[in-house]
Amino acid sequence: MAKPKGAPTFIFPRVAHCASIGREKDTVVADMDGTLLRGRSSFPYFALVAFEVGGILRLLFLLLASPIAGILYYFISESAGIQVLIFATFVGMKVSDIESVARAVLPKFYSTDLHPETWRVFSSCGKRCVLSANPRVMVDPFLKDYLGADLVIGTEIHVFKGRATGLVKNPGVLVGTNKADALENAFKDEPIPDIGLGDRKTDYPFMKLCKESYVVPAKPEVDPVSLNKLPKPVVFHDGRLVQKPTPFIALLIILWIPVGFLLACLRIAAGALLPMPLVYYAFWALGVRVYIKGNPPPPAKKSIGQTGVLFICSHRTLLDPIFLSTAVGRPIPAVTYSVSRLSEIISPIKTVRLSRDRATDASMIKKLLQEGDLVICPEGTTCREPFLLRFSALFAELTDELVPIAMANRMSMFHGTTARGWKGMDPFYFFMNPSPTYEVTFLNKVPYALTCSGGKSSHEVANYIQRIVAASLSYECTSFTRKDKYRALAGNDGTVVEKPKLSPSKVMGC
């Protein structure tokens, strides 16, 4: 790729002056941290990988190494500082684990930090290239799958027998002239890129190679791009951390985990050992907030032949049935799809596993309803974002006594669900939050005319309940299923390993 003649001195106009109309045939090249993303620091993303793969001790190691990285960054070179972060985070890790976190965890955090002016220009161009000093293995899934990047050029990590050594391959960390050389090599047989976007002097060498170059000024107060403007929504994501772990947040997490685990054990013990009418008050005394809306129906009277009510819950964590029982003040059995043996042991309510054989499950649910009320989560798996997955229609064929329940929760530090980790820790992580909150909303019983006995098909009943629950929560209905979630986050559906992309076409209006 030949350098343009007569290139100006390296005082570039601001990105706000770059036109974004009629750029469909243009090629844009953008730096990542501080340019495509608002934040200049890549520490939070390294911290996410460190915690999700290596746990609290690896996060502590990275946090202790970060001052050294900062000193090298400011007094030696940007490359040296980033190399310390890469070593502290990656050394000894399986590359497959890093790739898993990059696919399932990082996109959620990256997507909330997009710079609006850079995105305006970047999204308007027909061909998109991103340069990053961060390891390509970290950034590639988000940039290609969610932002539509055609080419991602990043630092390449050194691997030995499937594990990262903590070192990087030649030519080293991609900053300064290394970044320019990598871009020039990538475009040596193609036309000069039309637009170059950077945010610091070390980006100037690659920006010189473009026909037009613009600087993204450091404005941390600028609002990020709203999620509804992204080409693809982040419906599914994994990982335990709720907040982006800045150095301060990372320190708080490390200090809180021992205290939080003891608090979680106390809260779980209170829920498991106390009579259910007292659990509500015990939770409040221990900092767990439970808000109840609507009127729960009274228990079925078996003496007059009443069958139980089937509570149809939206699914946020495996604790949904327990908080429903807390709200009504009596234990209500729940049918489950996949929970750990530990969760079954410590559960204060009866749990019955579904076999996933339609006839067997239908017979079992009918029998349980003869004994009293029952809880089912027809989504089959949890979703953290404001979406409802497709409701399985089996429940609608088994009874007309259907009461929809809208579940919502708030967690400030840890997510109480996982697709990749050990599910036995899910209740502990939920209760490790300083003050977790559950909101249980009882909706009106489904009218007889809208049940299967009233002439509706089971799918019509399931879709109707999905819509009214979504409307209550201001969520969006989707046709995603459990298999879609596990394929997106874990690369399999529980039996077959494959990695298809998540299609945004399945997101639909209610």
Q: In the chain, where are the structural domains located?
A: 15-220, 274-506
The whole-number pLDDT of residue 510 equals 43
Residue 353 has pLDDT above 90, yes or no: no
pTM attached to this predicted model: 0.90
The domain 274-506 is placed in CATH, from the list 3.30.70, 3.40.1130, 2.60.40, 1.10.3470, at 3.40.1130
Peptide bond into 8 cis (omega under 30): no
Burial class (CB in 10 A: 0-12, 13-18, 19+), 22: exposed
Query: Please, which pLDDT band fits residue 222 given cuts at 50, 70 and 90?
Result: confident
- Read off the pLDDT band of 346 (50, 70, 90): confident
Mean pLDDT of 74-90: 93
CB of 240 within 8 A of CB of 418? yes
Confidence at residue 505, expressed as pLDDT on a 0 to 100 scale: 43
Q: What's the pLDDT tens digit per position in 376-408?
A: 999 989 999 999 999 999 999 999 999 999 999
Instruction: Write the CA distances from 150 to 2, 30, 261, 310, 412, integer angstroms.
Output: 21, 12, 44, 49, 35
More confident residue, 358 or 275: 275
Q: Is residue 361 within 8 Å of 355, Cβ to Cβ?
A: yes
How far is C-alpha 470 from the chain's CA centre? 20
Beta 163-168 vs 157-160: how paired, if at all? antiparallel
Classified by CATH at the fold level, domain 15-220 comes out as Rossmann fold (3.40.50)
For residues 480 and 466, give the distance between their C-alpha atoms in angstroms, rounded to a whole number.
12
Mean pLDDT of 289-316: 85
DSSP letters along 390-413, please? PPPSGGGGT-S-EEEEEEEEE-SS
Q: How confident is the model at residue 303 (pLDDT cuts 50, 70, 90)?
A: low
Neighbour-count burial of 261, counting CB atoms closer than 10 A to its CB (0-12 exposed, 13-18 middle, 19+ buried): middle
* Span 155-172, pLDDT tens digits: 999 999 999 999 999 999
Average per-residue pLDDT in the chain? Answer: 89
Per-residue pLDDT band at 297 (split at 50, 70, 90): confident
CA 250 to chain centroid: 18
SS3 for 361? Answer: helix
Q: Which one-letter amino acid corresponds to residue 457?
A: S
Q: pLDDT digit string (tens) for 238-289?
A: 999 999 999 999 999 999 999 999 999 999 999 999 999 999 999 999 999 9
